[in-house]
Amino acid sequence: MMQIRTLNEIPEIKGKKILLRVDFNVPISKETGEIQDDTRIVESLNTINYLRLKGAKVIIMSHLGRPDGQVKEELRLTKVAAHLAKLIDTKVQKMDDILSDDVKKAINEMEDGDVLMLENLRFRAEEEKCEPNFTKELASLGDVFVNDAFGTAHRKHASTAGLADYLPAYGGLLIEKEMKALSPLLSNDIARPLTMIFGGAKIDTKIGIIKNFINKADYFLMGGGIANTFLHAAGYQVGESLCEKDKTELAQEIMLECEKDREKFILPKDVVVADEVSNTAETATVPIQDVVGNMKILDIGRLSADRYCEVIEKSGTIIWNGPLGVTEYEPFQQGSKTIAICLANHSCTSIVGGGDTADCIKRLNVPVEAFTHVSTGGGACIEFLEGKPLPGIEILKK
């Protein structure tokens, strides 16, 4: 495992002001303003409780949405703070600013074990720019920096990496958990065969990880919009399906690299098609060579799902990133559901990466506990497995 400084290495926690970066970028309903999925908050509880029960003054920092340096009322962290208070059964003092005199006064008045939450960090443009003066002033609020936001660890922002220039930096329990689960996948000491399942919309977000594992993985199973790009590159018609035709050459290069082992890179043989994307869409399952006209490929077919399950059942390690269909709509959930259930019932090491995949599993009512590890990071998980250094992790290395 990658060696990082962890919570148990903080010399003295009691009485210290801990600046804790978490990822509370949770989905909030536009209609009701209520939190739709609190997974990211729940995943941070172990670190928050560890610190406050050790007598730290816990100052929570997070972002929400993309306010682009502007104050946006609907992106305030007020409801997030209220929800956290319920989960930890402790008052969470929510501030309406980040670096005001009121914030500094409130922090100075904190007792040991108190929890305070700053306002959405991205209301300040300097956060994403990692602007030195802003970072230094932010650092002045605390004695120690703890990063527990794996979901933003691939960003070099003031609160994810910059604070380490001014404060001693440690990884929280969630970061430690992610490192323990993901680090072994970068070595060759893993259970074989190694199978990688890719779905989702875009090839360019997955290209680095595919290339990094092209000589390590035993199987690649493709679904979602990314499969359409490969099918198009292989000479099939994809109708009006989501397809990055400008990535045809790239897709052909990858398939060519896998050509010496024709069973290594597996594309759908049949697909679920429809004319529209809705919960009432009329669907048909057709062989891939029968896709014509304005058909849209919106899921893998039953034969393909069964074939993928055959590979899963003989695999020792599986990494899954991206839904295999448009799982927001019921008619296009079956492919992903078949794979999720098959994977959940298999005793292999199963790593699920990316927020969309985790959301998909929840939507399909497959228990997350059935998988070895469900990562809280989408882009961060992908970049880590690509072998890229993550700024929010690099600053924690021993």
Q: Which tens digits make up the pLDDT trace of 356-397?
A: 888 889 889 999 899 999 998 888 888 888 888 999 999 999
Same domain membership, residue 262 and residue 147: no
With respect to residue 393, please indicate whether it lies within any of the assigned structural domains. no
pLDDT for res 162: 98
Same domain membership, residue 327 and residue 308: yes
Same domain membership, residue 151 and residue 91: yes
Q: Which residue range is the domain that position 293 belongs to? A: 182-386
* CATH assignment of the domain containing 363: 3.40.50.1260
Name every residue whose Cβ is closer than 8 Å to that of residue 242 and which is 6 or more positions away in sequence: 201, 225, 228, 296
Same domain membership, residue 191 and residue 169: no
Instruction: Specify the DSSP element, H or E, that contains 219.
Output: strand 219-222
User: What tens digit of pLDDT does each residue of 114-165 get?
Assistant: 999 999 999 999 999 999 999 999 999 999 999 999 999 999 999 999 999 9
With respect to residue 167, please indicate whether it lies within any of the assigned structural domains. yes
Cα 42-55-119 angle, rounded to 5 deg: 50
pLDDT for res 397: 94
Same domain membership, residue 187 and residue 164: no
pLDDT for res 91: 97
Cα separation of 278 and 329, whole Å? 6
With respect to residue 396, please indicate whether it lies within any of the assigned structural domains. no
With respect to residue 369, please indicate whether it lies within any of the assigned structural domains. yes
Count: domains in the chain: 2
Same domain membership, residue 207 and residue 287: yes
In the block, residue with structure tokens 């600013």: 97
pLDDT for res 260: 75
Same domain membership, residue 263 and residue 289: yes
Cis peptide, bond prior to residue 193, ω within 30 of zero: yes
- Which one of 130, 150, 174 terminates a domain? 174
**320: phi then psi, degrees, rounded to nearest 5:** -120, 125
**287: phi then psi, degrees, rounded to nearest 5:** -60, 150
pLDDT for res 72: 95
- Which one of 174, 191, 206 terminates a domain? 174
Same domain membership, residue 79 and residue 46: yes
Tokens of 161: 């990496």
Which residues are designated catalytic? 40, 202, 355, 379
Same domain membership, residue 254 and residue 272: yes
pLDDT for res 1: 59
With respect to residue 26, please indicate whether it lies within any of the assigned structural domains. yes
Same domain membership, residue 272 and residue 126: no
Same domain membership, residue 125 and residue 211: no
CA distances in angstroms from 320 to 307, 335, 364, 380, listed in the order given? 16, 13, 15, 14
With respect to residue 189, please indicate whether it lies within any of the assigned structural domains. yes
With respect to residue 344, please indicate whether it lies within any of the assigned structural domains. yes
* Amino acid symbol at 369: E
Same domain membership, residue 347 and residue 317: yes
With respect to residue 191, please indicate whether it lies within any of the assigned structural domains. yes
Residues (pLDDT < 70) of the chain are 1, 262
